[in-house]
Structure 1
């Protein structure tokens, strides 16, 4: 049995058409037919029922069972290829969401330089949800990820580091800046600027709007945290951000929210269970755990 036969079979269960599968892979239709015959001979059971008169393809119960396993096998092979490619490059590919990266990296950089790791580190910046997907597909060695509450990722190794609240962020001269705290319902008439899909803040925003029973106007969405903060400074709108996202240099006011049961911004160090243990990676993870719990 070879992996190409499995790839043909998986496509056949989805497209249910031999010609379309052949076109997808750039091969002839008999190639697909022979691959199916090899699989059925190997497993000793019919996987595809083909009505020759109507050219209809039906996946048998056994074929459905195999297809489910093939999806897992394909995902594991893709992850293995990505991890081995990184091993050849000698680089540690590490995910950092902008908010977490801006907070931790300035303090991490000197330690990374002293340890001789800075040249080996290749950082990838994206929202936590997107980075989590990259970890699952093997495209990252690890990441510092944010989540609303404890991160549940059974296929990965999750080391919780910190928990911080979400806040409402406004310009220093905004009328709301005089408040020491707010309920989210108080913001029903305020325009918001928000982070785009792929950021944990999107889930938190949905929780607050649903729980408060309001639907404030979102005037702009962006993946650029710095741009979002500039728009808040310009009073284009207010923003929901984790408390750690607001730095003194931003000249913004972060106002606590008093809503009961509200989600928190949890930070965790996340790695693959198959992560190769090298001195460089061990040293990096030790530094990240040390800085992350400050």
Structure 2
């Protein structure tokens, strides 16, 4: 029967191309690594590593490259399985929250989490949607409320779309933008924009609107701080593209609707890994988040 340690040795051998280096990494003897390779080659009946003893070099064969790809995937899946099994023994639920969702939407969910007894078991972790998605896939989060431009689709994820909201233009009360609270994106050419950084899906929506309108809007300032962006807009430094989810009456800003057809939507989804084992507490949190809508 295959020993997963053989895969671990083999992946390192493909990367390091040195039996002695692999032996040093795992603190075993060099013959141990050689015997491991021999077992794999006998198991699959094909040469995986070609050894040129005259030049003291190692070459990974095509079969070896193929096996290394599968071995990495298998080892990654085994590590993920162990993390999932470990997680079943704890009651803490790690929930990823991007800044806008965490600041402007999540507070509305707290009563639902309190009522079903899951709030005390929740650990919220903040970050940009892209970074949180990486951490979710790595098993560092149990679930995340993520924003995306349109529906989030990925074969390795379970996605429960909660709602979609429009992007809008925000402007200082005194700035004249559009007509009757609406404007086409192309009509904003010449207006200075203050824009959110790449960690926000707004950057993707901004590019999509530029492309569909056939324009290139002028950005005079960028920041990852939503509050700073709104402050600069209020001071009339420029206008900004922002989901209406993040605009409140206390901001004292104009909220101007975009009239462009087929415009992008700020979509919020509850996201988990596909085939992830779930604890009773995780299921309680999921129910509270989904039923809140």
Q: Which TM-score band (shorter chain)?
A: 0.7 to 0.9
Residue aligning to 1:134: 135
What is the distance in 2 between the residues matched to 1:31 and 1:196?
Answer: 51
Residue aligning to 2:151: 150
Are the equivalent residues in 2 in contact too, given 1:91–1:121 (CA < 8 A)? yes
User: What pairs with 1:275-294 in structure 2 (closer than 5 Å)?
Assistant: 275-291=276-292, 293=293
Q: Displacement, 1:94? A: 0.9
Residue aligning to 2:65: 64
Q: Deviations over 1:117-162 (max 9, x none)?
A: 1220011112222222222222221112222111112222111221
Q: Displacement, 1:239? A: 1.9
Q: Displacement, 1:21? A: 5.2
Residue aligning to 1:188: 189
Residue aligning to 1:240: 241
Are the equivalent residues in 2 in contact too, given 1:170–1:177 (CA < 8 A)? no
What is the distance in 2 between the residues matched to 1:99 and 1:255?
Answer: 19
Residue aligning to 2:174: 173
Q: Deviations over 1:56-77 (max 9, x none)?
A: 4332222122122123223323
Q: Displacement, 1:275? A: 3.5
Residue 65 and residue 110 in structure 1: after superposition, are their counterparts in 2 closer, same or farther (change >3 A)?
same
- Is the partner of 2:217 in helix, strand or coil? coil
Q: TM-score, normalised by structure 2?
A: 0.86
What is the distance in 2 between the residues matched to 1:76 and 1:31?
Answer: 25
Q: Deviations over 1:182-211 (max 9, x none)?
A: 222233323333332232222111211222
Q: Deviations over 1:223-267 (max 9, x none)?
A: 332333233223333222222121222222221212222221122
Unaligned runs of 5+ in 2: none
What is the distance in 1 between the residues matched to 2:213 and 2:16?
Answer: 45
Residue 61 and residue 107 in structure 1: after superposition, are their counterparts in 2 closer, same or farther (change >3 A)?
same
Unaligned runs of 5+ in 1: none
- Is the partner of 1:210 in helix, strand or coil? helix
Q: Displacement, 1:20? A: 5.9
Residue 103 (1) aligns with residue 104 (2): yes
- Is the partner of 1:119 in helix, strand or coil? helix
Are the equivalent residues in 1 in contact too, given 2:85–2:277 (CA < 8 A)? no
Are the equivalent residues in 2 in contact too, given 1:79–1:136 (CA < 8 A)? no
Residue 279 and residue 170 in structure 1: after superposition, are their counterparts in 2 closer, same or farther (change >3 A)?
same
Residue aligning to 2:7: 6
Q: How many residues align?
A: 292
Deviates more, 1:130-139 or 1:173-182: 173-182
Q: Displacement, 1:85? A: 4.3
- Is the partner of 1:220 in helix, strand or coil? strand
Residue aligning to 1:218: 219
What is the distance in 1 between the residues matched to 2:71 and 2:224?
Answer: 35
- Is the partner of 2:13 in helix, strand or coil? helix
Residue 105 and residue 59 in structure 1: after superposition, are their counterparts in 2 closer, same or farther (change >3 A)?
same
Q: Displacement, 1:284? A: 1.5
What is the distance in 1 between the residues matched to 2:61 and 2:199?
Answer: 37
Q: TM-score, normalised by structure 1?
A: 0.85
Residue aligning to 1:77: 78
Q: Deviations over 1:20-50 (max 9, x none)?
A: 6566667776554444333323333211223
What is the distance in 1 between the residues matched to 2:158 and 2:209?
Answer: 29
Rg comparison, structure with higher value: 2
Are the equivalent residues in 1 in contact too, given 2:97–2:146 (CA < 8 A)? yes
Residue 85 and residue 173 in structure 1: after superposition, are their counterparts in 2 closer, same or farther (change >3 A)?
farther
